[in-house]
Chain A
Amino acid sequence: MVNWAIVVGINQYPARAQQNPLNGAVADACDFAEWALDPTGGNVAPERLFFWTYPWPAPSPDRLGNYLAGPLPNWYHEQLGAAQPDPTRAPMAFEITTTIEDAGRAAYASDYGDNAAERRVYVFLAGHGIRARTSERNEETCFLAGDFAPPKGNLTPGLIPCDSFRKALLHKRFSEAILFTDCCRSTTARSSLTARQVSDFDGEPILPWSIAFAAQDGEPAYETAAAPIRGAFSSALMRGLRTHRPGPLGDLHADPLRDYVQASIQDFTNSGQMPNLLYRPDPRGPLIVPGRPAGGGVVVNTPNLDGPSLDVSALALGTRLVLKGGDLQPVKGIGPFTVAGPSMVLPSLPIGLYAVEVNDGSGRYTMFAQPSQGAIRVE
């Protein structure tokens, strides 16, 4: 498998786009690019990574910093044909779609046939989004690129219909497409605002794909409330990509990634935001990232996961509590605890299922999953 990636993050849109500035989209894109360049992550060679954020990121000593300091692959340019990404502005819709579609087309043309290498493309788009009608009669979630502006005719520039983009990537270009979009889906464009066509669409491909949206259809996406500000979805996604390896070989498919991100996003926002991830083929979806051979099916846990909060206001002061793990044995080194107030915070715990037992002979217990959503009421 040979991997490509295109990574875009836009915090600041031109005035004509009339979009509020964001704070986390660029950081999210940098984080994803860092993961993409990691041989144990996305495993994308620098010459196959197309990266563009606005503002442009500050120099850094990591993989992305080294990448940005070196020669960058050219992007499609309307006047010049090809050019380096312009750090003084956000990329336009055509630049995003044509750059990676041309790369895929070239790879397909040079390596075609039964023995051709598999080609996976990662797409990461962070910024604003709306729902809009496309010229091909569909209504889709559209990412807002840097040229988003009120239309002079009936077609609105600067919109990337995500699902159509996905189909185009699989049309004689890549053999697998993995898309992540961290943008709102809550605002709908009136039907007169049709998205200008930016890809060549061609039916429903049967190749493997997954497409992740930050929120459910019609719902907004949020950034984290506390610094460093990031997209809540991207935060959960990146933690999942880096740490969640539930497969027998430590691999991560779309299905368990969806489960993880849906469960984990509550650690980054209390808005009720619920990501959506669609994929083919059933039941697991494509392989998002292979695990290390030594992974052995062990869940790799996040070291700094916050400990869960317990609401113990229904219990008498002095009540003893025992924390048990998934095997119903007391968790070593943690507890037992004594209720000394209406609430308590447990130490950081690995991801998994737990039970808090009331140690008074009543047999009462409360089960919870870590990471947990809000305070766990123990009665």
Chain B
Amino acid sequence: MSNDPTNVRPLYRLSLTARPGIAIRLLNASFQEIARSTESLQTQQPEGLYLVEWSSAGQRSQTMVRLDADHDGTEIAFDPSDRETDSALEPNASKKAALVDAVSTAISRSSTSSIVMIVSIEENVAIDVQDLSIGVFDRNDIMMRRTSDEVPFLELSPRERVYRYDVKPGRHYIGFRSLLGENLGQSVPVLAGRQTLVFLTVSQTNLIVANGERFGEEMSIGVDPVKTVVITIRGDEENYRVRERVRLAGMLLHDLTNRANSLSNDVVSVLDDELTDPLLRLYGALVALLWFERREVSLSGDVTQDDVATTPAQTWVQRIERWISNAGQLGLPTDALAALWKLARLEPTAFGGEVVVLWPTRLETPPMLECAWRWAIEESVLRPEAVRGTAVVTATARSSGGTSPWLCWRQSATKARSIPGAIAGNLNRDLSSLVSDVARKASRLVEAAQSMPRALGQLEALGTEVQTTALRSLQATFPTMDRSATADIKQMAISLGLPLTQLRKRLARTSKALDVAVATLNAGTDSAVVSAKSLRAPSEAPGLSRPVDDKEDPQKGRFGGQHRRGGFELWASFNDAGSRNWTSITLGVTGPGADGEEVQFHLHDSFKPPLAVRRFKGEAATLKVTAWGGFTVGVWIPAKAVELELDLASLENAPDIVRLR
């Protein structure tokens, strides 16, 4: 072997620069990786062709590079933020790199707070934005008045529309019609002196729907909630800075959805800056928490992870706490509080009692993000009072899911509160005992069915909620060496998306529904197998087979539209439920019904179950419910084959909470 200097190939310099959080990979001509970095990469390579790969938030771009004597010292900068608009941006790469820090600064401070909705309509999608039911609501569900349709600091593309609402700092929520045709709500923070920019994307999709024995397809247009980005700015910042912040937020939100981690050193340095958008810092804190939660590593001490930036001078606990800021700050989303709770659970010794006592003790509005909702649910397993059962929180427990990273709820799911007496006996039981009770009954059905798939089919007859809850209960009581009862209950609460109070109610309802199934099973003498048909309601109302025209009010028009028929009358009276959130409603049917004859009340689908059966006594049958909002009630009297229908919101004696919601 000789070391002949004449054989040494000359090296040529290559300088690569990207925006924070963008990973850089350098590949040789055979697509083998020869170097990688984030933010910047300086290297020297022999003459040849190379491929540079820029990647962030699941998106990748590539640039081919030639290095030789004529291309020594090649500099390439990659900046996706200047591709979002047609605005002419500074072409000089080095100046752009200097804008890394400018992300955290503002041009002028604004004294007002506002929510600005930027609605972007994807190409080939034709819709009038008015049809998307976009609005801003305060925590009392009052719709805010739109202030203007202009934001001078933002350069809009032809497919973007903007709506501005000047509002007081606090926790608000936005409403919109989703891609699936549902009216969804989502928490949005409003911080003092800042503007909250909400970027909504309108898409279209092919929807498959079942119609009896047939599938049908329809084109649906609406806001795709998973593409939403929310940031805040302090003043009228220039377009490029806003777009760059949107890119960074989108990258962190992608992390939250995919449990990835883009917290490279350049991103961490931006988030460490106290002037950086508090929402960006909060997103970063959630990404870090998710990461440590998944890796199950300690947050204290000098943590060094191979792909998470660290500084020896501080622990990640301190850093995350600083990024979260003050959870009690007016307008900061409840995600901050849920994250602090999670941090304290992960690292209980890091917080003294005097610190924890300063934190708010309960959450009254849903967080913005799915992971924070999960952490709030975890906290509720330890402290049931941690999540308060407001109407919006209840709606979130009933209807959220499928919009990760965001937490969205069906706006109409706020309507129902409860049907008193339906499950009263079970609500005071010990939770573990309730889970065991449900599991025992479900086991009985599974044994009788002789296979889990067959048992699932039979549980299905009792409804989706009952089936899912019963199966979860079965898992929770399987003997395991590495799980405690609390861990099982926590896992069950998370998978069902229910804080402890709602989980208890769900289990109580499930237990009651399984009672019927088990009783049916015990009554069967010839066959040990439960008939799914036997678990169904004995006389199904004909209205249920009619199509749902109004997804937000499913019984509307399905029960004949008349509240008087055949001598029977459906009526409603309203009482003050002693709460600004709820109204107590008495529903009644009077007419020539014999004592004991069945009256089916078909309620809004946010009631669980939506069917309540009462019987005539003295030519009257009544049902008391608690609700927040109006809906249509359908009634079916099987013995007389009479249908009745009443839209509560149309009644003059209805309170505003019923007429206007």
Query: Which residue numbers of A lie inside 8 Å of B, CB to CB?
Result: 16, 18, 78, 81, 94, 98, 130, 133, 135-139, 150-151, 153-156, 186-194, 196-197, 200-204, 206, 218, 246, 256, 259-260, 262, 276, 278, 280, 282-283, 297, 299, 325-328, 351-355, 363, 365, 367-369
Q: Is B139 an interface residue (CB 8 A)?
A: no
Q: Given A260-B31, A353-B64, list of 15 further CB < 8 A pairs? A: A78-B451, A78-B453, A133-B402, A135-B464, A154-B460, A156-B210, A188-B180, A188-B207, A190-B180, A190-B181, A190-B207, A190-B209, A193-B210, A256-B31, A328-B49
Q: Which of A187, A282, A297 contacts B205 (CB 8 A)?
A: A187
Q: Closest B-chain residue to A155, C-beta based? A: B460
Contacts of B28 in A (CB 8 A): 326
Asked if B66 and A367 sit within 8 Å, CB to CB, the answer is yes
Q: Closest A-chain residue to B463, C-beta based? A: A154
A203 to B179, CA, bound (A): 27
Contacts of A354 in B (CB 8 A): 49
Q: Is B214 an interface residue (CB 8 A)?
A: yes
For this complex, 15 residue pairs linking A to B, each with C-beta atoms less than 8 Å apart, are A18-B214, A98-B452, A135-B468, A136-B401, A137-B496, A138-B404, A139-B401, A150-B215, A151-B210, A153-B463, A188-B179, A197-B471, A204-B294, A262-B60, A367-B66
- Given A187-B206, A204-B294 in contact, is the A353-B50 Cβ separation under 8 Å? yes
Q: Is B527 an interface residue (CB 8 A)?
A: no
Q: Closest B-chain residue to A151, C-beta based? A: B210
Most chain B C-beta atoms within 10 Å of own C-beta, residue among A197, A299, A365 = A197
Contacts of A262 in B (CB 8 A): 60
Contacts of B132 in A (CB 8 A): none
Nearest first, the 7 A-B pairs at minimum CB distance are A326-B29, A137-B401, A139-B402, A353-B49, A353-B29, A367-B64, A150-B210
- Given A190-B209, A246-B31, A351-B31 in contact, is the A206-B402 Cβ separation under 8 Å? no
Interface residues of B in 440-481 (CB under 8 A from A): 451-454, 456, 460-461, 463-464, 467-468, 471, 475
Contacts of B295 in A (CB 8 A): 206
Q: Is B501 an interface residue (CB 8 A)?
A: no
Asked if A218 and B456 sit within 8 Å, CB to CB, the answer is no
A202 to B488, CA, bound (A): 10
A275 to B456, CA, bound (A): 34
A44 to B211, CA, bound (A): 43
A137 to B64, CA, bound (A): 43
Q: Which of B30, B182, B495 contacts A352 (CB 8 A)?
A: B30
**Interface locus among B255-263, B340-348, B563-571:** B255-263
Contacts of B64 in A (CB 8 A): 353, 367-369
Contacts of A353 in B (CB 8 A): 29, 31, 49-51, 64
A139 to B50, CA, bound (A): 40
A98 to B452, CA, bound (A): 10
A133 to B451, CA, bound (A): 25
Interface residues of B in 197-214 (CB under 8 A from A): 203, 205-214
Asked if B207 and A197 sit within 8 Å, CB to CB, the answer is no
Quote the shortest CB–CB distance from B504 to chain A (angstroms).
Answer: 18
Contacts of B261 in A (CB 8 A): 282
Contacts of B181 in A (CB 8 A): 190
Q: Which of A138, A187, A299, A351 contacts B208 (CB 8 A)?
A: A187
A61 to B534, CA, bound (A): 52
A156 to B208, CA, bound (A): 12
Q: Is B598 an interface residue (CB 8 A)?
A: no
A239 to B50, CA, bound (A): 23
Name B's interface SS: mixed
Contacts of B213 in A (CB 8 A): 16, 150
Q: Is B576 an interface residue (CB 8 A)?
A: no
- Given A187-B207, A187-B208, A282-B307 in contact, is the A326-B30 Cβ separation under 8 Å? yes
Interface residues of B in 160-195 (CB under 8 A from A): 179-182
Contacts of B214 in A (CB 8 A): 18, 150
Quote the shortest CB–CB distance from B179 to chain A (angstroms).
Answer: 7
Asked if B49 and A189 sit within 8 Å, CB to CB, the answer is no
Quote the shortest CB–CB distance from A128 to chain B (angstroms).
Answer: 11
- Given A188-B205, A189-B208, A282-B307 in contact, is the A328-B402 Cβ separation under 8 Å? no
Asked if A327 and B48 sit within 8 Å, CB to CB, the answer is yes
Q: Closest B-chain residue to A16, C-beta based? A: B213
Q: Is B217 an interface residue (CB 8 A)?
A: yes
Quote the shortest CB–CB distance from B262 to chain A (angstroms).
Answer: 10
Quote the shortest CB–CB distance from B424 to chain A (angstroms).
Answer: 26
Contacts of A278 in B (CB 8 A): 258
Quote the shortest CB–CB distance from A357 to chain B (angstroms).
Answer: 10
Q: Closest A-chain residue to B370, C-beta based? A: A137
Asked if A367 and B468 sit within 8 Å, CB to CB, the answer is no
Q: Closest A-chain residue to B220, C-beta based? A: A188
Contacts of B49 in A (CB 8 A): 325-328, 353-355, 367
Contacts of B53 in A (CB 8 A): 259
Asked if B207 and A194 sit within 8 Å, CB to CB, the answer is no
Q: Is B72 an interface residue (CB 8 A)?
A: no
Asked if A197 and B215 sit within 8 Å, CB to CB, the answer is no
Contacts of A365 in B (CB 8 A): 66
Q: Is B239 an interface residue (CB 8 A)?
A: no
A326 to B46, CA, bound (A): 11
Q: Is B70 an interface residue (CB 8 A)?
A: yes
A135 to B402, CA, bound (A): 10
- Given A78-B451, A282-B261 in contact, is the A186-B206 Cβ separation under 8 Å? yes
Asked if B66 and A355 sit within 8 Å, CB to CB, the answer is yes
A299 to B260, CA, bound (A): 29
Most chain B C-beta atoms within 10 Å of own C-beta, residue among A137, A206, A280, A327 = A137
Q: Which of B70, B182, B467 contacts A135 (CB 8 A)?
A: B467
Q: Is B296 an interface residue (CB 8 A)?
A: yes
A187 to B50, CA, bound (A): 39
Q: Which of A18, A202, A351 contacts B491 (CB 8 A)?
A: A202
Q: Which of B206, B208, B491 contacts A203 (CB 8 A)?
A: B491
Q: Which of B58, B62, B294, B471 contacts A206 (CB 8 A)?
A: B294
A281 to B62, CA, bound (A): 23
Asked if A352 and B31 sit within 8 Å, CB to CB, the answer is yes
Contacts of A355 in B (CB 8 A): 49, 66
Q: Is B499 an interface residue (CB 8 A)?
A: no
Quote the shortest CB–CB distance from A276 to chain B (angstroms).
Answer: 8
A326 to B30, CA, bound (A): 8
Contacts of A283 in B (CB 8 A): 36, 307
- Given A153-B461, A187-B208, A218-B203 in contact, is the A352-B402 Cβ separation under 8 Å? no
Most chain A C-beta atoms within 10 Å of own C-beta, residue among B179, B261, B467 = B467
A189 to B216, CA, bound (A): 10
A240 to B100, CA, bound (A): 38
A18 to B53, CA, bound (A): 43
A259 to B61, CA, bound (A): 11
- Given A138-B401, A355-B66 in contact, is the A196-B294 Cβ separation under 8 Å? no
Q: Is B318 an interface residue (CB 8 A)?
A: no
Asked if A201 and B70 sit within 8 Å, CB to CB, the answer is no
- Given A186-B205, A325-B29 in contact, is the A153-B460 Cβ separation under 8 Å? yes
Interface residues of B in 33-69 (CB under 8 A from A): 36, 47-51, 53, 58, 60, 62, 64, 66, 68
Quote the shortest CB–CB distance from B597 to chain A (angstroms).
Answer: 27
A280 to B68, CA, bound (A): 38
Quote the shortest CB–CB distance from B63 to chain A (angstroms).
Answer: 10
Quote the shortest CB–CB distance from A210 to chain B (angstroms).
Answer: 13
Contacts of B491 in A (CB 8 A): 202-203
Quote the shortest CB–CB distance from A117 to chain B (angstroms).
Answer: 21
Asked if A197 and B456 sit within 8 Å, CB to CB, the answer is yes
- Given A136-B495, A187-B217, A363-B70 in contact, is the A193-B206 Cβ separation under 8 Å? no
Contacts of B60 in A (CB 8 A): 262
Asked if A327 and B453 sit within 8 Å, CB to CB, the answer is no
A201 to B307, CA, bound (A): 28
Asked if B453 and A189 sit within 8 Å, CB to CB, the answer is no
Contacts of B402 in A (CB 8 A): 133, 137-139, 191
A284 to B372, CA, bound (A): 29
Asked if B180 and A78 sit within 8 Å, CB to CB, the answer is no
Contacts of B31 in A (CB 8 A): 246, 256, 259-260, 299, 351-353
